[in-house]
Each structure stands twice: as C-alpha cells, then as structure tokens.
Amino acid sequence: MIVNADLTHLYDLKTFLRSEIISQHNSVDVIDTHRIRYAVH
C-alpha cells in the first residue's frame, strides 16, 4: 500500500489507514493510527 498525503490531510490519511487496517487486522487499528500520528509529528 502506497500513501501520498500532505500533513494537512492527516485526518483523511488516518481515516483511510484506519479503514484499511480494520479490513485486515481489527485489533491493530488503534496501535497503528497512534504510531502513524507520532511518526508524522
């Protein structure tokens, strides 16, 4: 999965990733979105 996104679209990115993660690994949703948030900031 390749994701190109501005930091200004972080909310959309997180929403997209969350739906992707949920469709693959339900239990990893919160962990991955938090990891992405900290990696971006």
The full DSSP string for 1-41 is ------GGGHHHHHHHHHHHHHHH-GGGHHHHHHHHHHHH-
11 domain-assigned: yes
d(CA 7, CA 34): 15
Structural domain of residue 36, as residue ranges?
7-40
Q: What is the mean pLDDT of residues 5-23?
A: 69
pLDDT attached to residue 1 = 46
pLDDT(17) > 70? yes
Looking at the 3D structure of the chain, how many domains does it have?
A: 1
pLDDT(32) > 50? yes
This prediction has a pTM of 0.28
35 domain-assigned: yes
2 domain-assigned: no
